[in-house]
Amino acid sequence: MISREAAPSMEARLLPKSGPMGSAWQGRVWFTLNPSQWCLLDLPELAGVRQWGRFLAFGDDELLREMDLALAAPASLF
């Protein structure tokens, strides 16, 4: 999980990965490999979704837009 704030690992594991997204996802994104061996069948309702190469991310769309901008920025900015 990528989060704007520190969160215990148990909190990340307990985030609902299907059904209503809810306020627990605010400022949080689930980031995982998207291997060809399995298919993601369900996501939280209204979650933003991105695929960057072999990686898949879903969750707070505002945070995902910020990540899009950061990934598009020239490497010299980091």
The answer to the question of residue 16 being in a domain is: no
Is residue 18 one of the residues assigned to a domain? Answer: no
Mean pLDDT of the chain: 86
Instruction: Give the separation between CA 26 and CA 21, rounded to whole angstroms.
Output: 9
- Residue 34 belongs to domain spanning: 2-6+27-77
Query: Considering the entire predicted model, what is its pTM?
Result: 0.81
Residue 76 is predicted with a pLDDT of 58
33 pLDDT higher than 80: yes
Residue 72 gets which letter from DSSP?
Answer: H
Q: Is residue 53 part of a domain?
A: yes
20 occurs within a structural domain:
no
Asked if residue 58 lies in contact with residue 34, where contact means CB atoms within 8 angstroms, the answer is no
Percent of the chain with pLDDT over 70: 88
**pLDDT value at 40 more than 80:** no
How many separate domains does the chain show? Answer: 1
Q: What is the DSSP code string of 14-29?
A: HS-SSEE--GGGTTEE
